[in-house]
Amino acid sequence: MTANPNEVITLIFENHSGIPGATLQSLFQAAGLINSLYTPASATAAWPTLGSMVSSGKRLVVFSDVLNATSAQPWVLGYTDYITENTYENFAPNPTFGCEASRPAGIRRGLTLLNHQLNTLLIPATATSDAAYFPDYTDRAITNSAASIAAHVAKCTAQNIFVNFIEVDFGQTGDVIASVDTINGVSRPKTLAVANGTAPAAASSVPSQTPSTSGTSAGAVMGLAGLLGTAVAARLIVVSLGFL
C-alpha cells in the first residue's frame, strides 16, 4: 500500500474457520496497516468517494462472511450486511450465470459480487441434502473468456444491478483481468497475472493511478482500486479463488 498510495484495497475473507477479529487485528497491526482500515458509519450509510478515502488514509476495506469480531474490530464488516451475490451453483453444460440475489436471499445490498464460475455436478440436490459438485476444469477458458464475462456483466447491468466484484475459478486461465480492464476502460501491462494470495512480481511495475473523485461513491462504482497491492482498476475487483 505504501508503494501504491492512490489505491483503495478490498479484502474478502471466506472465514470458514471462524478466525476471531482479535487475530486479524494483531496481523494488521504487525503489517503496519491498522490505521488504514476503513469503518463505515453503518451498513446502510452511503460509501465515501474514493478520493476522500485516499485523502483520509482509510483505504483498506475488510469483509468477512463469518463475523467473528467484537466492537474492538468495527472495521471487520459482515459480508452479507454489505454485499449481495448471485448463486455460484452454475452447472455445465448449460449454466445460467444469473444476477439474482442469492445471498442474502432476496435482499439487495449496496454492493454486488458476481459469481462467475462453472461447476460439474456429481450428485443432484435432494430434499435432505445439498448438491455435490466441483469446479469445471475442462471449460475454464470458455467460462473465463472475455465474451462470457462481458455477457454476464451486461445482463446484470441491464437489470440496474451494477457489479463491484467478480469471483472466478482458475483465474490465471482465460481473459479475466483483460475483461475487467475492458469493462472499466483501462489498460495494463499484458504480463500482469491474477493475484493469488500475494501480489505477483509484476505488480511493482504497474504505475499507481489516481482515482476518479467526480462524486462517484465507492459503493456504487469502486473506482480505481487495488487488489492485494495490484493496480486492478475501476469499478470491478477480481477475486481469484484457490483453484488455479
Higher pLDDT, 84 or 206: 84
Residue 170 has pLDDT above 70, yes or no: yes
| pLDDT interval class at 189 (50, 70, 90) | low
Q: What angle do CA 213, 195, 114 make, to 5 degrees?
A: 65
Q: What angle do CA 210, 214, 217 make, to 5 degrees?
A: 90
Give the containing element (helix H, strand E) for 226: strand 225-226
Could you count the other beta carbons within 10 Å of the beta carbon of residue 181? 20
| pLDDT interval class at 161 (50, 70, 90) | very high
Residue 187 has pLDDT above 60, yes or no: yes
Instruction: Please say whether the beta carbons of 236 and 224 come within 8 A.
Output: no
Residue 234 has pLDDT above 90, yes or no: no
Residue 33 has pLDDT above 90, yes or no: yes
Q: What angle do CA 126, 129, 133 make, to 5 degrees?
A: 90
103-120 residue pLDDT tens: 999 999 999 999 999 999
* Three cell numbers written together for 217: 461513491
Chain CA centroid to CA 215, Å: 22
Residue 213 has pLDDT above 80, yes or no: no
Chain CA centroid to CA 99, Å: 15
| pLDDT interval class at 95 (50, 70, 90) | confident
pLDDT attached to residue 49? 87
Extents of the domains making up the chain: 8-240
pLDDT attached to residue 203? 29
Alpha helices in 113-226 (DSSP H): 140-143, 146-157, 176-184
Chain CA centroid to CA 241, Å: 10
Looking from the CA of 88 toward its CB, the CA atoms found within 13 Å total 17
58-69 residue pLDDT tens: 999 999 998 889
